[in-house]
Structure 1
Amino acid sequence: MVLPFVHAADSHKVLHYVFPSPETGFDPAVAHDMYSGQVIRSIYETLYAYDYLARPAKLVPSTAASMPVVSNHGKTYTITLKKGIYFTDDSAFGGKKRELTASDYIYSLKRLMDPAVRSTWGWLLEGKVIGLDALAKQARKTGHLDYAKPIRGLELVDRYTFRIHLNKPDYNLTHVLAHYPTSAVAHEIVDKYTDGNGQIMAHPVGTGPYVLTEWQRGSKMILDANPAYRGFIWDFRAGSDPEDKRIVEEMKGKRMPQIGRVEIAVIPEDQSRWLAFENREVDLFNLDGPLAPRALEKGHLRPELASKGVRLSRIIEPELSQFYFNMQNEVVGGLSKEKIALRRAIAMAHNVKEEINVVWNGEAIPLEYPIPPGIIGHDAKYKSSVRYEPKIANALLDKFGYKKGADGYRRMPNGKPLVIVFSARADSTGQQQLEMWKKTFDKLGIKMQSDKRLFPDLLKAEKQCRLMMRTSPWIADYPDGSNFMQLFYGPHTGQSNNGCTRIPQYDRLYEQSVALPDGHERDLLYHKMTRLLEVYAPTRIGYARYRNMLLQPYVIGYKKHPVMHNEWIYIDIDNDKR
């Protein structure tokens, strides 16, 4: 519900939050990490969002006046915006109030396909919108995308209404329009603050509930409540979770947001983050697996914390943590039999359950299937053909010519040294992952070289296909299996396909699957695609972690959402209890 403007946020209500890794920047079309995404979702707005309490996740209108009108056999979406939504004041608007219009969303969707922007999210729209790929192709020739050129696929109906015309039905389009890369960006902001590459990573200006008022790169971010934000009344219904009733009683009827400031610190070291929470310097805390024994016992909050009023919100993260091989790498890549044998042997020699116990203190579940629990398309009965079998793995290497030398280490079939470079974050968790993989490679007689980098540097390198191996987590952008199966689709290399995988049979099956709704026919294709991943071994399917969020006693109304990660828009703080 939108009411006449009354600013509700209280500047004395400050939420202290922490990131374990640095952000990369705040351009919705470019940022590709969860931490930057949390900030982006607080500043910018998409057409659709998710109901805060509904499980499974349920789409609701955000800047759109209603859910889209779908016609033409699922190929046309008509979307009307709410009137009276304004961008945050900025000098780029020449001192005038700048209203959000349908043209802003058309501009922002085109921007995802602009070669100059180098968006990592172009795959969300590639091949889908009539005329959009042709516009991008022309831009690659001329070096400039003509944003003013109308295309049939993005039809401006009036100031507040536009239509998206698709080449074929896309059953996830509304989910895509709820994902932050499709947020509304004003062209005036891009024109004024571009970094020369068409990107605005350092100057975010949106229509959302918060404004970035301070940014110390890789260290600190401050978000203040947007005084011009229209607000909304907290009016969500309780689901089957007994905790929902308490949340509804605490929050129902409040005008949101209540929190006037969000202060985010970047603290990479586990122990430092935990001490900050213990000292109440952090109010809402993601308890990563390495810290789990400090607060949890068999998945429940320890009594000494519960007695202090600390609460736990716990879910299985809708994620896939995979161990990918760079399929373009000369050592581990390629589709020849000996390269497939190498990857399969490594996959069989790695003990995923042991990594879960050692690195994450048991705070994860091993996955047999690429689509995790809680996501449409997950198959709890599926059994992978890849098992932990180090003896067979060694025999496979012997058979395909990876012989051991006098030093005890294996060599390539051509006699050259075999060295695997495994990359990880330069923190304590990354170090533990490296130690686990060193143990795996020692079982095989393969020499491993550790490569530790800062998180933003890892992301940049893997988008350029420059890493050989890495543990790569992917958290659901939207709650459908297609969001995970696309991770191995060849044309998504350089975007979401971090292993730079290109398997022709897989690509053909993926293209068939995206034309199908959720159901038996699509599930059969997903099974075939998963078997191909097991045969060619571009990846070793790993695990999905638990997300354990700890709340200080004065944090009100919090419940971890499976897709949204900026829940501070929906919660409150009781300063009397602080």
Structure 2
Amino acid sequence: MWNFKQFNRSCIAPILLVFGVAGAATSVQAGNNPADPSKVVRVALEAPDDGFDLVRTYNAYSNWVAEAIFERLLTYDYLARPAKLVPQAAEAMPEVSDGGKSYVFHIRKGIYFAPDPAFKGVRRELTAQDYAYSFKRFLDPKNRSPSANVLEGKIAGMDEAVAKAKKSGRFDYDAPVAGLQTPDRYTLKITLTAPDYNFLYIMGFNALGAQAREVIDAYGEQSGAHPVGTGAYMLEQYVPRSKIVLVANPEYRGYTWDFKSTGSAWDEQLVHDMKGKKMPQVGRVEVSIIEEEQSRWLAFQGKQIDFDFLPQAAAPTVLDGTELKPSFKAEGIRMNTVIEPGLAYVIMNFRDPLLGGDSLEKNALRRAIAMSYNVQDEISQVRMGLAVKAEMVIPEGVVGHDPNYRSSIAYDPALANKLLDHFGYKRGADGYRTLPDGGPLVIKMATEASAKNVVFSEIWKRGLDKIGIRVDFKVSNYADNLRAATECKLMMWNGSWSADYPEGDNFMQLLYGPNAGQGNNGCYSSPAFDALYDKAKVLPPGPERNQLYIAMSRQMEADTAWVITVSRSRNWLIRPWIKGFKRHPILQADWQYLDMEKH
């Protein structure tokens, strides 16, 4: 990781060696996608997408699919651990100058968008202007992007353009922006308002893949159902919340599989199976939405899914300790185990009239609720042991995580009851409490319809019953709950976050006040937390910034904004005909790195 005090030109050379092109794909002739249409990979998602215009959603399952369609300037080496940035649409890592404020990217020539009627029969090459346009779309107030915070305030002159758009009601995409210049067809120069030590990670953020203006103009509000990118795949069929079919993009330039092993036995096998192959090999990807764990597991057992993570409920049937049982090994099934660089948590809406606010009595209520939840029950009854208790906001595997950190909030219903008694939440004859003013006290928790979520609800109800708080579970679906959360409308909701980039800022920004509705779905607002965040974001990675991350975690606990629960352990089960699989901590859509044998 970046471990230096001064960010200037003399430091850039070593950075580029760390994030350089070693292990990056080698280009082959444009328009020569080698994918075999008879090679069909079948996979399942555990929740529905929300369309594929990532300017308008950060739904994890939308991101998963869109990653195969759109290309960013930078991506990640498939095998390297820890995760390492490498060029994707860029020819090389950027030229950096002006103390880390100026970045010059050179776009690869001969990259073409997938064919689409929006191009009116013309073969459409990717240019630097497509990235400039895409970045502007993120900040166009009309789009209300939930991920706008990744670019807000960073690009010189962009704040003024946004202010004009808010005043006029229209973003002028043709007006020049000082910090976003395209001096020629293949050069993008980005000038920042201040050095940003995470900026290269931001350029690898999935949602910043290039979009063509003609496509957005053609489809408008329906762009999410008509994604057109330069990636390995294009959308052939889309049945919202049911099925997604991707096929090889005939314009994709292809590459040669030449990633370097980390030395593990798993990597050595991958290199043996894949080195030198013209990629992608898989010509078709069929994605089913199967929300119920048992149904997804039955689909895998019936060979209707080629690889999937092991459903938690099936773990006792499949695992003998940390190993596959002999019957599954006999089928040729392999298992790739990873601790996700992610976090599961429960938001408590700071804007909610009943639960929110920064008064002592409201904080006491949130703290008591947090203390009523038994994380160990979640690990044993929901996760079936496939999780570890999370202690701080930044999970293991992400820069800024402190392995010695321990949360100040523990499961303790007895202490929670004393806290509620002290602040005047009185018990009635039925054993349930009222607000200090005598008003009704009912927690409304959003959830989804699945067997797993039923168990979550049971754990919550048991704990809340012990402290005398009624709870009403509101069942909807993931996509609708996410949309409501971005509007600060959910009182409580089980959430999770997997790293978009492996640096603590990616998690702390979920609690930053100005990001309410843009990742900060609990709409947490704390001047003390925000001041710490502002200090951290201008520091380079290192002990000083890590101490601020610890202070931010403590401040979140003091305000009890979240109930932090677990980081999940994922056991990916892979059928023997799938070659090249290794779960990446950041990348999701791995289909372009795989091959499959006929079976």
Q: Deviations over 1:333-363 (max 9, x none)?
A: 0000000001111111211121111111111
Secondary structure of 2:286 counterpart: strand
Aligned mates of 1:290, 1:339 — CA distance in 2: 36
Name the structure 1 match of 2:29: 4
Aligned mates of 2:201, 2:326 — CA distance in 1: 40
Pairing of 1:360-371 with structure 2 (within 5 A): 360-371=383-394
Equivalent AA in structure 2 for residue 75 of structure 1: K
Out of 262, 277, 287, the residue aligned to residue 264 of structure 1 is 287
Out of 90, 110, 117, the residue aligned to residue 84 of structure 1 is 110
Pairing of 1:15-30 with structure 2 (within 5 A): 15-30=41-56
| Structure 2 unpaired stretches of 5+ | 1-25
Secondary structure of 2:112 counterpart: coil
Shift of 1:298: 2.1
Q: Deviations over 1:294-344 (max 9, x none)?
A: 322323222210111001111001111111100000111000000000111
Name the structure 2 match of 1:182: 208
Name the structure 1 match of 2:5: none
Shift of 1:288: 3.0
Deviates more, 1:527-536 or 1:254-263: 527-536
Name the structure 2 match of 1:204: 227
Q: Report whether the alignment pairs 1:154 with 2:187.
A: no
Aligned mates of 1:142, 1:291 — CA distance in 2: 56
Moved over 4 A (4+): none
Secondary structure of 1:151 counterpart: coil
Equivalent AA in structure 1 for residue 346 of structure 2: F
Aligned mates of 2:107, 2:323 — CA distance in 1: 44
Shift of 1:205: 0.4
Name the structure 2 match of 1:14: 40
Are residues 448 and 305 of structure 1, via their aligned partners in 2, closer, same or farther at CA, if it must alter by over 3 Å? same
Aligned mates of 2:347, 2:250 — CA distance in 1: 45
Aligned mates of 2:271, 2:124 — CA distance in 1: 35
Equivalent AA in structure 2 for residue 43 of structure 1: I
Aligned mates of 1:538, 1:290 — CA distance in 2: 30
Equivalent AA in structure 2 for residue 489 of structure 1: Y
Q: Deviations over 1:100-120 (max 9, x none)?
A: 000000000011001111211
Equivalent AA in structure 1 for residue 534 of structure 2: E
Name the structure 1 match of 2:137: 111
Q: Report whether the alignment pairs 1:511 with 2:537.
A: no
Name the structure 2 match of 1:378: 401
Out of 309, 314, 323, the residue aligned to residue 286 of structure 1 is 309
Out of 158, 161, 164, the residue aligned to residue 190 of structure 2 is 164
Name the structure 1 match of 2:23: none
Q: Report whether the alignment pairs 1:479 with 2:502.
A: yes
Query: TM-score if structure 2 supplies the norm length?
Result: 0.94
Aligned mates of 1:391, 1:513 — CA distance in 2: 37
Q: Deviations over 1:249-304 (max 9, x none)?
A: 00000011000000011111111111111111110112232332232232322221
Aligned mates of 1:509, 1:32 — CA distance in 2: 25
Equivalent AA in structure 2 for residue 124 of structure 1: V
Contact between 2:33 and 2:248, CA under 8 Å: does it hold in 1? no
Q: Deviations over 1:446-476 (max 9, x none)?
A: 0110111111111111011111111110111
Secondary structure of 1:532 counterpart: helix
Equivalent AA in structure 2 for residue 375 of structure 1: V
Secondary structure of 2:93 counterpart: coil
The percentage of aligned residue pairs carrying the same residue is 45
Secondary structure of 2:100 counterpart: coil
Deviates more, 1:132-141 or 1:369-378: 132-141
Name the structure 2 match of 1:340: 363
Name the structure 2 match of 1:244: 267
Equivalent AA in structure 1 for residue 132 of structure 2: I
Equivalent AA in structure 1 for residue 305 of structure 2: V
Pairing of 1:379-528 with structure 2 (within 5 A): 379-528=402-551
Equivalent AA in structure 1 for residue 563 of structure 2: R
Name the structure 1 match of 2:166: 140
Q: Report whether the alignment pairs 1:562 with 2:562.
A: no
Aligned mates of 1:453, 1:400 — CA distance in 2: 33
Secondary structure of 1:78 counterpart: strand
Shift of 1:12: 0.8
Equivalent AA in structure 2 for residue 156 of structure 1: T
Equivalent AA in structure 1 for residue 75 of structure 2: A
Shift of 1:429: 1.4
Shift of 1:171: 1.1
Aligned mates of 2:425, 2:289 — CA distance in 1: 44
Equivalent AA in structure 2 for residue 110 of structure 1: K
Query: TM-score if structure 1 supplies the norm length?
Result: 0.98
Aligned mates of 2:264, 2:60 — CA distance in 1: 26
Shift of 1:412: 0.3
Cα RMSD (Å)? 1.0
Secondary structure of 1:342 counterpart: helix
Contact between 2:40 and 2:282, CA under 8 Å: does it hold in 1? yes
Secondary structure of 2:549 counterpart: helix
Contact between 1:11 and 1:260, CA under 8 Å: does it hold in 2? yes
Q: Report whether the alignment pairs 1:547 with 2:554.
A: no
Equivalent AA in structure 2 for residue 271 of structure 1: Q
Aligned mates of 2:293, 2:122 — CA distance in 1: 46
Equivalent AA in structure 2 for residue 451 of structure 1: K
Equivalent AA in structure 1 for residue 133 of structure 2: Y
Out of 334, 338, 350, the residue aligned to residue 327 of structure 1 is 350
Contact between 1:426 and 1:455, CA under 8 Å: does it hold in 2? no
Aligned mates of 1:20, 1:178 — CA distance in 2: 25
Aligned mates of 1:399, 1:131 — CA distance in 2: 52
Secondary structure of 2:506 counterpart: helix
Aligned mates of 1:72, 1:333 — CA distance in 2: 44
Secondary structure of 1:205 counterpart: coil
Aligned mates of 1:454, 1:408 — CA distance in 2: 32
Secondary structure of 2:133 counterpart: helix
Shift of 1:540: 1.5
Aligned mates of 1:523, 1:351 — CA distance in 2: 29
Secondary structure of 2:571 counterpart: strand
Aligned mates of 2:437, 2:381 — CA distance in 1: 36
Q: Report whether the alignment pairs 1:33 with 2:84.
A: no
Deviates more, 1:346-355 or 1:60-69: 346-355
Pairing of 1:201-240 with structure 2 (within 5 A): 201-240=224-263
Secondary structure of 1:193 counterpart: helix
Q: Report whether the alignment pairs 1:314 with 2:337.
A: yes
Aligned mates of 1:160, 1:310 — CA distance in 2: 45
Contact between 1:423 and 1:470, CA under 8 Å: does it hold in 2? yes
Secondary structure of 1:402 counterpart: coil
Equivalent AA in structure 1 for residue 397 of structure 2: G
Aligned mates of 2:146, 2:160 — CA distance in 1: 18
Contact between 1:430 and 1:452, CA under 8 Å: does it hold in 2? no
Equivalent AA in structure 1 for residue 318 of structure 2: A
Equivalent pairs counted in the alignment come to 573
Aligned mates of 1:403, 1:298 — CA distance in 2: 47
Contact between 2:444 and 2:492, CA under 8 Å: does it hold in 1? yes
Name the structure 1 match of 2:151: 125
Secondary structure of 1:229 counterpart: coil
Equivalent AA in structure 2 for residue 223 of structure 1: L
Deviates more, 1:452-461 or 1:298-307: 298-307
Secondary structure of 1:42 counterpart: coil
